[in-house]
Chains A and B, each alone.
Chain A
Amino acid sequence: MLKSCVVSKPVIEKWRSSPPPPNPVLLSSVFGGRSKGITRHVHLALQVWRSAQGWLEAIASSGAGDQNLFTSIYPTLSQQLPREPMEWRRSYGRAPKMIHLESNFVQFKEELLPKEGNKALLTFPFLHIYWTECCDTEVYKATVKDDLTKWQNVLKAHSSVDWLIVVVENDAKKKNKTNILPRTSIVDKIRNDFCNKQSDRCVVLSDPLKDSSRTQESWNAFLTKLRTLLLMSFTKNLGKFEDDMRTLREKRTEPGWSFCEYFMVQEELAFVFEMLQQFEDALVQYDELDALFSQYVVNFGAGDGANWLTFFCQPVKSWNGLVLRKPIDMEKRELIQRQEATLLDLRSYLFSRQCTLLLFLQRPWEVAQRALELLHSCVQELKLLEVSVPPGALDCWVFLSCLEVLQRIEGCCDRAQIDSNIAHTVGLWSYATEKLKALGYLCGLVSEKGPNSEDLNRTVDLLAGLGAERPETANTAQSPYKKLREALSSVEAFEKHYLDLSHATIEMYTSIGRIRSAKFVGKDLAEFYMRKRSPQKAETYLQGALKNYLAEGWALPVTHTRKQLAECQKHLGQLENYLQTSSLLASDCHLTQEERAHFCQEILSFANQQVDSPGHRVLLPMHSFAQLRDLHFDPSNAVVHAGGILSVEITLYSQMPIPVHMDQIAVNVHFNIEKNSYRKTAEWLTKHKTSNGIINFPAETSLFPASQNSSPGLELSEMFERSPSDNSLNTTGIICRNVHMLLRRQEGSSSLETPSGVALEDGAHVLRCHSVTLQPGTNKVAFRTQAKEPGTYTLRQLCASVGPVWFVLPHIYPIVQYDVYSQEPQLHVEPLADSLLAGIPQKVKFTVTTGHYTVKNGDSLQLSNVEAMLILCQAENRATIFSNSREESSVASLRIQSSDKVTSIGLPAVPAYHVIEFELEVLSLPSASAAMGERGIQGTPELHRKQKDRQKSGHCMVTTDHKVSIDCPWSIYSTVIALTFSVPFRTTHSLLSSGTRKYVQVCVQNLSELDFQLSDSSLTDTGDTADLQLTPLNPQCEQHIHSKQSVFFVWELQWTQEPPPALCCQFSVGFCPASEEQLSISLKPYTYEFQLENFFTLYTVNAEISPPVGAEYCRTGSLCSLEVSITRLTDLLEVDKDEALTESDEYFSTKLMYEVVDNSSNWAVCGKSCGVVSMPVAARATHRVHMEVMPLFAGYLPLPDVRLFKYLPHHSAHSSQLDADSWIENDSLSVDKHPDDQLDCSSVRSRGSVASAASSEHKGLPMPRLQALPAGQVFNSSTGMQVLVIPSQDDHVLEVSVT
């Protein structure tokens, strides 16, 4: 029996390109002839390509017939069969696939036919082919038929239905034998004899060795048939096999079931799929086996142990790692077959198969991933199964396996592929590193002294478990086996290998961005270096890892890494770094109290050692040592005058676990003079800065930033800078309050561990507090300082020192400032009320701001007296003294001495930066100039000044200003203070007439807000005219005048002789505030002087309206007569002597113009409403004018006004030409009969007056002028009279005017 194996293609290199078209590497077994040499049997077998093992042959078909014939056909057959793909339809809804069939042809042999229950699929004959060349009926009948019959019987006996008869026709044979029947006949016979219903089971192959189209056709038909039948049989048998396999699997709960047996069955299926290049399906078989096994192990862990599993629990004796370089690890397979495999053997074999298939599938990265999972799960399974494993054995196994997988993958990938898939392999690298480290520690290769004998024994044991190196890798220099052996051989070799691995892993992790993993490996490396006493190398890794943990806020890793770093720094002698790390650790709440105390003690002992070497400072950031919680100023507004005492109390939260005695705590203060800013003036500071004095500092969060990426938001606020003089806006802008946060250096976190970021400012201004013991937790520290130079002081840094160790808080934020100001002494005088009233005592407040001046006893204010203003000295004056911050006050008495010129106010002794406040009563005398304020309508010049105000409101008081010059003790210059007093009253007068009797009326209007009592009113003639008598018609009693009200006084003017043309009067009335009780001083009365002119009556005018003749009453619409009589009462008087007076022969007359005006439009004046009359200047001279008027309304109507004017001729001196026309014109105008001619008349009049006043020169027109007669000279006796007008009878509408 010969079985030759002919597979030797280098498999591994092939998978990378797409699987090549099946190369017909056939496993053909040629059997020696069994029959008489006429027929040869040939087995047709599926070819297993790539699998080099003979046992993998699968006999697909067995054939019978002529050996020579087959030999001649075979090359073509084997070449052509796999050329065309076939669609393979599969059961269970699996997707159809195109497969290439390759077959192994084996000579037919009855023994090869499968027996019942045969599980072998690989050696299964799928199709039996009978080859015959027979073309002779005789021969057929004689031998072939029998042969065929026997063959068929054998097949039937084995219930094999997959067969084919091939009749090969050969032209050459035909020629030789003439008696040949038509060729169909043999085929027909065969079909007839054997293929009763399956005529397609017999095919003809014509001239297979020729090169003709007929031959080609024949081949194609034959091959198609062959493929179809082969596939049909394969599908059928495979389905049956799968069913059998499932049945077997279902029996797994039965006691005798063996996993290994089942394994072999399912693997058979996998092999078949692999042969068909259905690697995916093949892989599924192994994955199922994997899962099944895993489940059993898990179940075992849960207490459900299968019997067969106990076998896998045997102690691990060999740990030589995965073998992936052979497609099939026959040794392990045989172990499984023999049911002698250990868990590691089984897993190794299973994985090697999976690996092979995955590599066929071009999924090397999945190999890496699965490998990692496999290694982890193996470790866990061994634990679950409680398999006894020598220490380090698993580490060896894992290490070897990791490297094996990596090398296997590297072997079939190029560098670029590997580099771009580091993410998949790095896990294995990391795992290998970890395991090597574990081995190193286990075997004493990491310790300083090197391995001891126990370690060496262990190493020997471990190496023994590796066994001998496998032949595949024997020639490889870097095989995992060699590496491990070497690494365990010596301390130096271990270090080299471990460092190589670690660095490679870190590099790989870093390159794919797995920084955290890289840092983690780096930390292991750091530990290694620490063990090797190379702290300088460890530091880098520890710092790197720590930075990462800090940045992401992982407290526990931070603490742990810091502890390692502290040790490292201690070894390195990095003093400052070590102290800083110690301070951080001492404040770390994740450490135990003892540990924290230890690190705190480290700092303190250092500080105590170094006492003798002064000048050397170790600066450490404060945040880890203590936190500034809040700060409190006293005075609370943080404003203090120069020389004043400022105290600052800070709350420090000590993070140290034990009380720490500090040599000193100091605050560095930055001094800044802001001279030009209004904000820094004493006025502004004392008034505006009103914080409560407590500044809270946000809790330090830099240790664990809540969020690295989110920077704090902008804290913007608006800023206005105003001019100190007029409060106008100087500058405006936006300021960012947290610039220091936003513009912080980004690498700030990196410098957290290095104290380089802290620099001690050396300022001249330092607040100090010596010898303070900080208890754990909250401490209060108070600083006191005497303010010196004025300006702004910014608290910049906080330092706490113990010996040479200085803890520095480099920036105090929010910004804390206090202001020191210096103030010039100042005096303010201001009325207590809104305005000061003249005439009555008023209070004025004096404010003395002492500023830097200290008021001594005897210092006084010297007020130069003003004539019109009295300073009223009360019996007792009190001054109130405040401190500048208005916090405290006291009362002192005030000495006031008055002399003629000077009032001296003695100030109480007061220290600097205080305020003295007191009130004085002043009285503005109604002095001559002021009291004479109002003269008639015109008023005084002073009044003119205020006229604008008066016009605006009409009720504005007249004011007077008094300037007081004050000499202050702190200045050689006098301070001039202006006080403005308002006169509370406004007085007007008027002359009233009744015929020839005259009355003077004085109206006093109270403009102030106060009520007054008026008393002792009097009116005197200052001219002291003889025979003139002023008879008061007023009540004698006091009168009350309320705010904003008026009081009238009337006197009758009587004279006996001819009175003077003008009369000077003085009105005087006493007044005092109504509300107040008895005043201490008598007040001056209020006076008002005025002049009366033309106060006696020259003319009386009488108007009378009479109804038309015959009518009893006036009727609307009917003309009535108006009689106006103008009567002269006196002879020529001094007052008459003016331009209007004409004299002729001792006879004097004056021209008067009358005018009838009805402003209420009750009357229509018909005809001339005005006219000029020449009035004789003589007593009883009367002029009568008759006019007609028409009432427009019914009722009692007041008579129309009759006005009288002095008619002055044009000034002859000014006009050279006298134009009479103007008279006529003027006259004609006034003769207008229209009812509204008064308007015209008045317009003419005004025109005339204007012309006379201003424009006569321009126009050159001599216009007469009208001059109103003074009110006192005309008495209209008909004023107030009314006449009854009845409505006309035919009026439908009755209009009644009621006046």
Chain B
Amino acid sequence: MAVCIAVIAKENYPLYIRSTPMESELKFHYMVHTSLDVVDEKISTMGKALVDQRELYLGLLYPTEDYKMFRKLHNSYTDVMCNPFYNPGDRIQSRPRPWEDLPGKAVGSTCDCRGPSTAW
């Protein structure tokens, strides 16, 4: 079960972050934030190598013994961005359906998705 979903803007602030056990919300925030180190690294190397840019999965971002963090939400994120009422860069306030569905889909992982990034 996905326990936390975060969408991060390219300036590294959270556009959307939601976690299921509300008690450990803070912990997830810290965790997601720390994992940005790896995201940064991966994106910068990806930009250099210009490998298949459509490969959006960045792999394991932050190893913890409790959870695994992945990034596989890009399609859902595109849906949100396609919303004409969404102002890019704003925090995603509403809870559009795709996000609600996701915790069921993404198995056994904390998910982390980088927001509008120039690398894409």
Contacts and interface: CB of A to CB of B under 8 A. Distances in A.
Interface of A: 372-373, 375-376, 379-380, 398, 423, 427, 431, 509, 513-517, 520, 549, 552-557, 560, 704, 706-710
B26 A516 contact: no
B76 interface: no
A385 to B, nearest CB: 15
A373 B37 contact: no
A1045 B89 CA distance: 74
Contacts of A557: 26, 29-30, 33
B33 A427 contact: no
Interface string B1-13: 0000000010111
Contact of B41 (A379, A514, A554): A514
Given A514-B41, A557-B29, A557-B30, A552 B65 contact: no
Given A560-B26, A704-B13, A709-B11, A375 B65 contact: yes
Interface in B63-82: 63-66
Interface of B: 9, 11-14, 25-26, 29-30, 33-34, 36-38, 40-41, 63-66, 89
B63 A552 contact: no
6 contacts: A372-B63, A375-B65, A431-B63, A552-B33, A553-B11, A553-B14
B34 A516 contact: yes
A430 to B, nearest CB: 9
A553 B64 contact: no
B65 A376 contact: yes
B11 A708 contact: yes
Contact of A707 (B11, B30, B37, B65): B11
Contacts of B14: 553-555
A517 B41 CA distance: 12
Given A427-B63, A516-B37, A517-B34, A552 B12 contact: yes
Contacts, number: 64
B16 to A, nearest CB: 13
Given A516-B34, A552-B13, A376 B29 contact: no
A373 B25 CA distance: 24
A520 B41 contact: no
A384 to B, nearest CB: 11
Nearest to B13: A553
Contact of B89 (A372, A509, A556, A707): A707
Given A380-B66, A514-B41, A554-B14, 13 more contacts: A376-B65, A516-B37, A517-B37, A549-B33, A552-B11, A552-B36, A554-B33, A557-B26, A557-B29, A706-B11, A706-B89, A707-B9, A708-B11
A516 B36 CA distance: 8
A380 B68 CA distance: 11
Tell which of A373, A516, A517, A560 has the most Cβ of chain B within 10 Å. Answer: A516
Nearest to A423: B41
B65 A379 contact: yes
A514 B89 CA distance: 24
A509 B26 CA distance: 22
A380 B108 CA distance: 12
Contacts of A379: 65
Contacts of A556: 25-26, 29
Given A376-B64, A379-B65, A707-B89, A554 B26 contact: no
B63 A516 contact: no
Given A560-B26, A706-B89, A708-B11, A515 B63 contact: no
B63 A376 contact: yes
A373 B63 contact: yes
Nearest to A394: B65
Given A552-B13, A707-B11, A380 B65 contact: yes
Contacts of B40: 513
Contacts of B12: 552-553
Contacts of B33: 516, 520, 549, 552, 554, 557
Contacts of B29: 554, 556-557
Nearest to A559: B26
A556 to B, nearest CB: 4
B81 to A, nearest CB: 17
A520 B35 CA distance: 11
A515 B36 CA distance: 10
Contacts of B34: 516-517, 520
B64 A554 contact: no
Contacts of A555: 14
Contacts of B36: 516, 552
B89 to A, nearest CB: 6
A560 B24 CA distance: 13
A554 B13 contact: yes
Contacts of A704: 13
Contacts of B26: 556-557, 560
> Which 4 A-B pairs rank lowest in CB-CB distance, beginning with the nearest?
A553-B13, A514-B37, A379-B65, A556-B29
Nearest to B14: A554
A643 to B, nearest CB: 50
A19 B64 CA distance: 36
Nearest to B89: A706
B65 A515 contact: no
Nearest to B36: A516
B68 to A, nearest CB: 8
A219 B106 CA distance: 65
B109 to A, nearest CB: 12
B37 A706 contact: no
A514 B37 CA distance: 5
Given A380-B65, A557-B30, A515 B13 contact: no
A1003 to B, nearest CB: 77
Contacts of B63: 372-373, 376, 427, 431
Contacts of A708: 11
Contacts of B66: 380
Tell which of A431, A553, A708 has the most Cβ of chain B within 10 Å. Answer: A553
A239 to B, nearest CB: 36
A611 B120 CA distance: 59
A251 B26 CA distance: 47
A515 B64 contact: no
A230 B120 CA distance: 55
B92 to A, nearest CB: 13
Tell which of B9, B14, B34 has the most Cβ of chain A within 10 Å. Answer: B34
Contacts of A549: 33
B64 A706 contact: no
A886 B11 CA distance: 53
Tell which of B9, B29, B41 has the most Cβ of chain A within 10 Å. Answer: B29
Nearest to B32: A554
A187 B88 CA distance: 89
Contacts of B65: 375-376, 379-380, 398
A373 B40 CA distance: 21
Tell which of A515, A517, A560 has the most Cβ of chain B within 10 Å. Answer: A517
Contacts of B37: 509, 513-517
Nearest to A518: B37
A710 B36 CA distance: 19
Contacts of A514: 37-38, 41
A553 B12 CA distance: 8
A21 B63 CA distance: 40
Nearest to A561: B30
A975 to B, nearest CB: 62
A704 B64 CA distance: 28
A375 B11 CA distance: 33
Contacts of A515: 37
A373 B59 CA distance: 13
A432 to B, nearest CB: 13
Given A516-B36, A556-B26, A706 B41 contact: no
A709 B89 CA distance: 13
A520 B30 contact: yes
A517 B26 CA distance: 16
A506 to B, nearest CB: 13
A376 B67 CA distance: 9
Nearest to A558: B29
Contacts of A554: 13-14, 29, 33
